[in-house]
Amino acid sequence: MILEARHLSVSIGTNRICRDLDIALGAGDRLAVLGRNGAGKSTLLATLAGLRPPDGGELRIDGQAYADLGLRAAARLRGWLGQDRGDAFASTVLETVLTGRHPHLSRWSWESPSDARIARAALADMNLAGMESRELRTLSGGERQRVAIAALLAQQTRLCLLDEPLAHLDLNHQIATLELLARRARTEGVACAMVLHDPNFALRFCDRALLLFGDGTHVAGPVAEVLNEESLSRLYGHPMRRVATTDFPGPLFVAR
């Protein structure tokens, strides 16, 4: 198991996000984390990434606790895409994607041509080829989101924790990004946990889902079992309906 959480309890301030949460992600597994705004999806993901300690329970990355792994070794195993895009200082797209190579470089070495190749391939994967020397701050929000995902890809980790990877992306790039993650899961065995806001994407691109209800309770399991009218209506506090059409494989959920 690349990610294993047992009896995990997470809270922020006085808000309980989850209690007794069990997650096990092996090679190629994709988990969708769903919930309303403020339900604690980002906090849970940051906890899974080892950026903040859980209140209780066990968390193992490739069989080891974060404390035993060390920051550098952890950074070679798991990548984390946050929501915050720091841009106080100017930098090029290529320099930004090369930050993903940091954990693979020793203290005094500089980025090699092979690091540059990996970064350029990641840019091409995110449909950003030819943008290498653009200044990051001249890019649109969606383009910057794709640069951040490219940096995560360049990190080449076996586990990716993505907090709202589809934020700011147009529909075309939303699908392309999810397809890319699914392809990496299939061909390279990269496991993912991602915060999504569309249950249909979860159904189509992930094999399991975690629903955070915001009151400390949760439901987790295979997408086909966990995602239904009742659970989604409760999750979003809005009636959801399951629709079956002949020109689309699988069911669709729509808000009434």
Q: Which residues bind another protein (CB under 8 A)?
A: 46, 49, 51, 71-76, 78-80, 82, 84-92, 94-96, 98-100, 102-103, 105, 107-108, 110-111, 116, 132-133, 135, 155
Residue type, 182: A
Closest CA to 150 of 172, 165, 133: 165
- Give the nearest distance from C-beta 84 to another protein in angstroms: 5
Residue 108 vs residues 104, 105, 112: alpha-carbon distances, Å? 12, 8, 12
Among residues 103 and 216, whose Cβ is nearest to another protein? Answer: 103
Among residues 71 and 244, whose Cβ is nearest to another protein? Answer: 71
- Give the nearest distance from C-beta 44 to another protein in angstroms: 15
Among residues 16 and 102, whose Cβ is nearest to another protein? Answer: 102
Among residues 110 and 246, whose Cβ is nearest to another protein? Answer: 110
- Give the nearest distance from C-beta 161 to another protein in angstroms: 8
- Give the nearest distance from C-beta 204 to another protein in angstroms: 28
CA 217 remoteness from chain centre: 21
- Give the nearest distance from C-beta 134 to another protein in angstroms: 9
- Give the nearest distance from C-beta 215 to another protein in angstroms: 26
Residue 222, token pair as written in the block: 């295979």
Q: For residue 97, what is the enclosing H or E element?
A: helix 93-98
Residue 230, token pair as written in the block: 């009742």
Among residues 151 and 240, whose Cβ is nearest to another protein? Answer: 151
For the chain, how long is the longest CA-to-CA vector?
Answer: 59
Q: Using only C-alpha atoms, what is the Rg of the chain?
A: 18
CB atoms within 10 A of CB 201: 17
Among residues 33 and 211, whose Cβ is nearest to another protein? Answer: 33
Q: What is the 3-state secondary structure (H, E, C) of 117-145?
A: HHHHHHHHHCCCCCCCCCEHHHCCHHHHH
Give the phi and the psi of residue 50 in degrees, each rounded to 5.
80, 15
